[in-house]
A and B are shown apart, each in its own frame.
Chain A
Amino acid sequence: TSGGGYGDPSQKIDYVFKVVLIGDSAVGKSQILARYARDEFSLDSKATIGVEFQTRTLVIDHKSVKAQIWDTAGQERYRAVTSAYYRGAVGAMLVYDITRRQTFDHIPRWLEELRAHADKNIVIILIGNKSDLVDQRAIPTEDAKEFAEKEGLFFLETSAFNATNVESAFSTVLTEIFNIVNKKSLAASEDQENGNPGSLAGKKIDIVPGPGQVIPNKSNMCCNS
């Protein structure tokens, strides 16, 4: 995978990117996340600070990037996914179920909300999950592709069940975020001869964790045996 796999937790992290999963319930958001993150840090992130995210560290262009991926934990069923969920997100995966028309019809509503709450340069990928259920398909690939093009979104069909495209979905989003941030970083270093990524705070892409986004230093409690 693209520099993928698990980072050494003691290594220096150059960037932390918050990515949110959204979409109707039962489209497979948690399964997609489980496929990707494989519990790198879930043991403590959930139980101790009550934040439903998982992380995976990867290397892009010799920089180490920690993807912090937030899941709704089913709260969308109860209309409880508030502005706090989106705060600080620089990437989003907008998921529907290719076998249920309604989950696709709701995508514009999720997209509106995402755009209302998140950074305007957020990188978004539309994901049609359950692509393994070929016989039950209700949404033609072309329809989703057309919608994604119209809205300027990346698009992939995935199967969390058999792992198809899950890696590429995340790496598409993370690489794009990285490119945006890195471009800004280069611009900043031309300005001030010092491309310290920390100095990006307050730029268009905000990589500083928001208030809801506590990132405790876990390297001493984990997990890499």
Chain B
Amino acid sequence: MSLVSGARDMGFDDNNNNKNNKDGDDENSSSRTRADDDALSRQMSESSLCATEEEEDDDSKLQLGPQYTIKEHLEKDKDDESLRKWKEQLLGSVDVTNIGETLDPEVRIDSLAIISPGRPDIVLLVPENGNPKGMWFTLKEGSKYNLKFTFHVNNNIVSGLRYTNTVWKTGVKVDRAKEMLGTFSPQLEPYNHVMPEETTPSGMFARGSYSARTKFLDDDNKCYLEINYSFDIRKEWPAL
């Protein structure tokens, strides 16, 4: 079992332009063919992304259409007034007069917050290097909480943004969670996404310190952030 050692390279992965030299102009070919090509180039690129262990990956065979820049999106059917307006709706508050020509979306995770009823929110800022020092936070056993992510999306639409979290206790993997956040257009304002409610484990075997790895990935398994950190679960919340 690979425990979180400091040996791994982590952090932002954004300049990893490993994909998307492909098929920008093949809208006339059948979607089946395009999807297949896409899957192929994606498989080849995946290995270079988040440097990690055996991720689960039931998702890796997902076949999506090609990615386009915002500019290409809007130009593609520009003579169709209705379709153009529709795309503007889907893009939300994108400034269409100053539109992106960058293919790769930039996703910046600003903070993670732990929201537990009756407690002030624990707001965790993501350190520059993605690696918080020491115990990042302490939770009380048997507490209900929601995670809230605040993030920015720039340059292009991010498709199928999701969060994965793996937790170890004394070297043994005890939990792995995966949750979809969704598909987001670039905008100036941050997005806030609240995850479904969870409950911290309790009991003498549950208390103690844990290590964890959180990642934010998209449909192509491109990794936007990887954080490795420690936290603990105690009988009580820490004093305020």
Interface residues of A (CB under 8 A from B): 25-26, 46-47, 49-52, 73, 75-86, 102, 105-106, 109, 112-113, 115-117, 120, 212
How does the 8 Å CB contact mask read for B81-114 relative to A, with 1 for contact and 0 for none?
1111111111110000000000000000000000
A68 to B68, CA, bound (A): 29
How does the 8 Å CB contact mask read for B178-205 relative to A, with 1 for contact and 0 for none?
0111111100000101001000000000
Additional A-B contact list (11), CB under 8 Å, known A47-B82, A109-B219, A113-B182? A50-B81, A79-B64, A79-B183, A80-B73, A81-B90, A82-B182, A82-B184, A102-B63, A113-B183, A120-B196, A212-B92
Nearest CB on A from B87, distance (A):
7
B132 on the interface (CB 8 Å rule)?
A: no
B73 lies within 8 A of A83 (CB): no
A117 lies within 8 A of B182 (CB): yes
A26 lies within 8 A of B59 (CB): no
Can you name the residue of chain A whose Cβ is closest to the Cβ of B105? Answer: A79
Inter-chain contacts of A51 with B (CB < 8 A) = 85-86, 89
Say which residue of B59, B68, B86 sits within 8 Å of A78 (CB atoms).
B68
A109 lies within 8 A of B160 (CB): yes
Nearest CB on A from B191, distance (A):
8
B67 lies within 8 A of A79 (CB): yes
Secondary structure class of chain B's binding surface, majority of residues: mixed
A149 to B132, CA, bound (A): 42
B67 lies within 8 A of A84 (CB): no
Task: Give the top 10 A-B pairs by smallest Cβ distance, nearest first.
Answer: A50-B85, A112-B180, A79-B159, A77-B65, A116-B182, A116-B180, A46-B82, A82-B185, A50-B86, A84-B92
Say which residue of B65, B180, B185, B193 sits within 8 Å of A84 (CB atoms).
B185
Can you name the residue of chain B whose Cβ is closest to the Cβ of A84? Answer: B92
A83 lies within 8 A of B87 (CB): no
B62 on the interface (CB 8 Å rule)?
A: yes
Q: How many residues of chain B are within 8 Å of chain A by beta carbon? A: 40
Given known A-B contacts A109-B59, A109-B62, A81 and B88 have beta carbons under 8 A apart? no
Given known A-B contacts A106-B62, A109-B160, A50 and B183 have beta carbons under 8 A apart? no
A115 to B193, CA, bound (A): 12
Q: Which of A49, A85, A113 has the most CB of B within 10 A?
A: A113
Say which residue of A49, A85, A116 sits within 8 Å of B90 (CB atoms).
A85
Interface residues of B (CB under 8 A from A): 31, 35, 59, 61-68, 73, 76, 81-92, 157, 159-160, 162, 179-185, 191, 193, 196, 219
B31 lies within 8 A of A25 (CB): yes
Given known A-B contacts A79-B219, A116-B181, A84 and B62 have beta carbons under 8 A apart? no
Nearest CB on A from B185, distance (A):
5
The contact sample of 9 A-B pairs, CB cut-off 8 A, is: A46-B86, A51-B89, A78-B65, A78-B73, A82-B90, A82-B184, A82-B185, A85-B90, A105-B61
Can you name the residue of chain B whose Cβ is closest to the Cβ of A109? Answer: B62
A113 to B83, CA, bound (A): 23
Can you name the residue of chain B whose Cβ is closest to the Cβ of A214? Answer: B89
Can you name the residue of chain A whose Cβ is closest to the Cβ of B163? Answer: A116
Inter-chain contacts of A109 with B (CB < 8 A) = 59, 62, 160, 219
A47 lies within 8 A of B183 (CB): no
Say which residue of B64, B81, B86 sits within 8 Å of A73 (CB atoms).
B86
Inter-chain contacts of A85 with B (CB < 8 A) = 90
A83 lies within 8 A of B184 (CB): yes
Say which residue of A26, A113, A115 sits within 8 Å of B31 (CB atoms).
A26
Inter-chain contacts of B31 with A (CB < 8 A) = 25-26, 77
Given known A-B contacts A79-B183, A80-B157, A50 and B89 have beta carbons under 8 A apart? yes
A106 to B191, CA, bound (A): 26
Nearest CB on B from A182, distance (A):
26
A49 to B191, CA, bound (A): 25
Inter-chain contacts of A26 with B (CB < 8 A) = 31
Inter-chain contacts of B90 with A (CB < 8 A) = 75, 80-82, 84-85
A78 to B87, CA, bound (A): 11
Can you name the residue of chain A whose Cβ is closest to the Cβ of B59? Answer: A109
Inter-chain contacts of B91 with A (CB < 8 A) = 80, 82, 84
A210 to B67, CA, bound (A): 27
A50 to B86, CA, bound (A): 4
